[in-house]
Amino acid sequence: MPDGSRKNVVLRRQQEDSTRAQSLDDGAATERTALLQPVRSGLERTGDANGKPIVDDDSSASTSSIEDGDDNNSAANQSLSPIRGACVVVALGALIFLQATNISMLTVIQSAIANELDAFERTSWFTSAYLIPLSALGPLNGKLSSVFSPRHCVFASALVMAMGALLSSFAVSFEGFVIGRVVTGIGASGVLPIAIIIVLEFSSSKRRGLAIGLLNSGYTVGVALGATAAGGLLPVVGWRALFWAQVPLAIISGLGLFLSIPNAFSASDVKSEKSTWSRLRSLDYSGAITLTASLVLMLYALSAPKKIPILPIILSLIVAAIFVQNEVYFASDPIIPTTLLKSRGLLFTCLGTLGFMMARWSVLFYTPTYAIAVRQWPPSVAGSLLIPTNAGFAAGGLLVGWLHIKRSGSFYLPGVISYALFPVSLVVLAMLSRDDSPVALFIAMLVLCGFVTGAALNYTLAHLLHLTPKDTHYVASALLATFRGFAGSFGSAIGGGLFIRTLDTTLTARFAERGMQRDDLVRRLLGSPALVEQLEGVEREVAVQGYEESLKYLWLAMAGIAVLMVLVQAAVGWTGHAEKEMPSSSSESETLLGDDDSEQRS
């Protein structure tokens, strides 16, 4: 038989097998359904992990794999009533708002805090003390949320956040304020990983992109409005009230989530008959300790304001190696599943997100600094400069989620394109970081920078879900959120260190050129950009030039990092985990072809 005829026979047999499988499954998704269906369809056909059949007619934990008749669109795993859903959205949005606000508001109120606590040279720790635990505890929170009910975890996180805000508001020394910031970061570390779990559980694949866009929008609203509101309220109520006012909001939001999320809501790993004590004993405590210690040591070293210490970095690498050995060879229930440790897609996605968002945070951290020091705008107006870039961020995430990410599968090319547009906006911002540049053009670049960032993050998470197995999505999402947190820490540490060192060198050199020695003034300018407005004559001119050059150098350096991240993101690949299991189907085709050859030979 000619080759063409043999192929036709094979194709007909495959179509018949596919049709027969669909009829047997009574409308269930086929093995070719993208992303989530290969795992889910297996569970639907054979039952859950304990061998029990999954029956879900009217319950909230829906496992239907077809939505609107499209095999590529899986229904939400679980559902909520409209009233409960609205309460969850409001309460979760409030916690995300608080988490983001605690980052951005320090950019406009740090001068007042540094002045009262006499900590001009240590202002970088105001942010780093919060971001280090926020980043380091992300994977642990993701694991705890997959072992215990997320409703309990998020309630505990909210209470710890409230406690940290209270400690910060009553601090009378630099050390006391930093302790409060650390406690707040510990509580906030559980918010974003749990929020991602809630989004994954309660949204269908068709609306998941829009849900992720809304999640990112809540975060960026906190960044924008946090800085704006803090700048406007600072002269009215003082900086302490900005912290203790968070306490009731955090407690009410946590309680609202605890009461609104059904008691039956759980992540996939929670569906077990084990008691709480048994689950506690099975946790990988050694892995949790070594992972957290490694991350804290690395972030502590990189957060040094002037000289980065080498010893903590070396210790961090040693502890990280111990953690990997523990996870691969000893842990029965590892913090990070070995399939993820070996995943190239996850590794490059996390690294790409780290560098990309580190560059992005340099814009969020230092745009208000540009407005205060170079333009001499008041803090309330300077904070509002974050509104355009965060509005662009929200628009980018929402538009691609609403118009494009309406299915499961690969989003490789859109993600790479979004990454490639980002450094262009940074270069233009660097060129415009002068006191005589057009304000409208600067704001337009901020909008563009935010838009491509929002689109890129949405595409990145959707593509990561395509690359990783479904039963690891919670930990993988928590890792991605952790590296986003790292970006804030690294942006504050590396970007802040680069900016401070450049500003210190520039100011000292410019004053020396004019035969002036202003060591004390330089020290105060390093931690208080608002001081520029109080200067006059040559001192103001030198201060403005120093800030201009430092901002330009910072954003050009971040643009270079962003270019490298385009290559890193391009290395994640586009073949999903489900597609990697397709060789079995290819083998069946080869078998059919071999049978056909045998029949023809006979």
Write down the domain spans for the chain.
25-75, 82-273+333-506+551-580
pLDDT above 60: residue 601: no
Indicate the average pLDDT of the chain. 76
Helix (H) or strand (E) holding 596: helix 583-601
- At 242 the pLDDT is 92
Higher-pLDDT residue of 82 and 474 is 82
- At 399 the pLDDT is 84
- At 161 the pLDDT is 94
CB atoms within 10 A of CB 170: 12
- At 30 the pLDDT is 38
- At 126 the pLDDT is 86
* Reported confidence tier of residue 314, pLDDT bands at 50, 70, 90: very high
Per CATH, the architecture of 82-273+333-506+551-580 is what? Up-down Bundle (1.20)
* 105-to-108, 109, 490, 491, 505 alpha-carbon distances in Å: 6, 6, 18, 16, 27
Q: Which of 336-340, 394-398, 424-428 has the lowest mean pLDDT?
A: 336-340
Q: Measure the CA–CA gap between 225 and 543, rounded to whole angstroms.
A: 28
Q: Which of 43-47, 90-94, 427-431 has the lowest mean pLDDT?
A: 43-47
Q: Measure the CA–CA gap between 566 and 16, rounded to whole angstroms.
A: 44
pLDDT above 80: residue 134: yes
Nearest alpha carbon to residue 125 among 167, 192, 179: 179
- At 467 the pLDDT is 75
* Reported confidence tier of residue 472, pLDDT bands at 50, 70, 90: low
Q: Measure the CA–CA gap between 360 and 518, rounded to whole angstroms.
A: 33
Q: Which of 230-239, 257-266, 438-447 has the lowest mean pLDDT?
A: 257-266
- At 128 the pLDDT is 80
Q: Which of 45-54, 509-518, 561-570 has the lowest mean pLDDT?
A: 45-54
Residue keyed to tokens 């409960």: 84
Contact 460, 565 (CB under 8 A): no
- At 46 the pLDDT is 38
* Reported confidence tier of residue 211, pLDDT bands at 50, 70, 90: confident
Backbone angles phi, psi at 36, to 5 degrees: -85, -25
pLDDT tens column, 264-283: 776 554 455 566 667 667 77
pLDDT above 70: residue 393: yes
pLDDT above 90: residue 19: no
- At 276 the pLDDT is 61
Q: Measure the CA–CA gap between 282 and 272, rounded to whole angstroms.
A: 13
pLDDT tens column, 498-525: 888 888 888 888 888 888 888 888 888 8
Highest mean pLDDT: which range of 111-120, 279-288, 539-548: 539-548
Cβ-based burial of 506 (10 A; exposed 0-12, middle 13-18, buried ≥19): buried
Sign of the Cα pseudo-torsion (589, 595, 599, 601, in order) = positive
Question: Across the strands, what pairs with 70?
Answer: 67
Higher-pLDDT residue of 490 and 161 is 161
pLDDT above 70: residue 327: yes
- How many residues are recorded in the chain? 602
- At 63 the pLDDT is 33
Higher-pLDDT residue of 422 and 406 is 422
Which string of b and e fits 186-207 if b means at least 16 CB within 10 Å?
bbbbbbbbbbbbbbbbbbbbbb
Two tokens at 338? 């070995």
* 418-to-153, 353, 356, 570 alpha-carbon distances in Å: 34, 12, 11, 11
Report which residue type is found at 501.
R
User: Three-class SS string for 429-448?
Assistant: HHHCCCCCCCHHHHHHHHHH
pLDDT tens column, 339-372: 666 777 788 888 888 899 889 988 988 898 899 8
Contact 453, 396 (CB under 8 A): yes
Higher-pLDDT residue of 259 and 573 is 259
What is the separation of C-alpha 216 from the centre of its chain, rounded to a whole number of angstroms? 9
User: Three-class SS string for 535-602?
Assistant: CCHHHHHHHHHHHHHHHHHHHHHHHHHHHHHHHHHHCCCCCCHHHHCCHHHHHHHHHHHHHHHHHHHC
Helix (H) or strand (E) holding 6: helix 3-24
pLDDT above 70: residue 186: yes
Q: Measure the CA–CA gap between 93 and 397, rounded to whole angstroms.
A: 16
- At 240 the pLDDT is 92
Contact 292, 137 (CB under 8 A): yes
- At 579 the pLDDT is 59
Backbone angles phi, psi at 70, to 5 degrees: -105, 120
Number of H helices, E strands in the chain: 27, 0
* Sequence-ordered alpha helix ranges (H) in 25-59: 37-46
* Reported confidence tier of residue 65, pLDDT bands at 50, 70, 90: very low
3-class SS of residue 70: strand
Q: Measure the CA–CA gap between 388 and 225, rounded to whole angstroms.
A: 11
Nearest alpha carbon to residue 110 among 221, 247, 227: 227
State mean pLDDT over 179-204.
84
- At 441 the pLDDT is 93
pLDDT tens column, 152-175: 888 999 999 999 999 999 999 999
State mean pLDDT over 363-383.
86
- At 15 the pLDDT is 56
pLDDT tens column, 213-238: 677 777 777 777 777 788 888 888 88
Nearest alpha carbon to residue 107 among 250, 216, 229, 241: 229
What is the separation of C-alpha 358 from the centre of its chain, rounded to a whole number of angstroms? 11
- At 448 the pLDDT is 93
The DSSP call for residue 371 is I
pLDDT above 50: residue 29: no
pLDDT above 80: residue 598: no
Nearest alpha carbon to residue 65 among 93, 43, 80: 43
Which string of b and e fits 210-248 if b means at least 16 CB within 10 Å?
bbbbbbbbbbbbbbbbbbbbbbbbbeeeebeebbbebbe
Helix (H) or strand (E) holding 203: none
Contact 97, 394 (CB under 8 A): no
Nearest alpha carbon to residue 226 among 446, 382, 426: 382
Q: Measure the CA–CA gap between 372 and 580, rounded to whole angstroms.
A: 53
pLDDT above 50: residue 461: yes
Concatenate the DSSP letters of all residues of 467-524 into one string.
HS-GGGHHHHHHHHHHHHHHHHHHIIIIIHHHHHHHHHHHHHHHHHHTT---HHHHHH
- At 108 the pLDDT is 80
Backbone angles phi, psi at 26, to 5 degrees: 55, 50
pLDDT above 60: residue 600: no
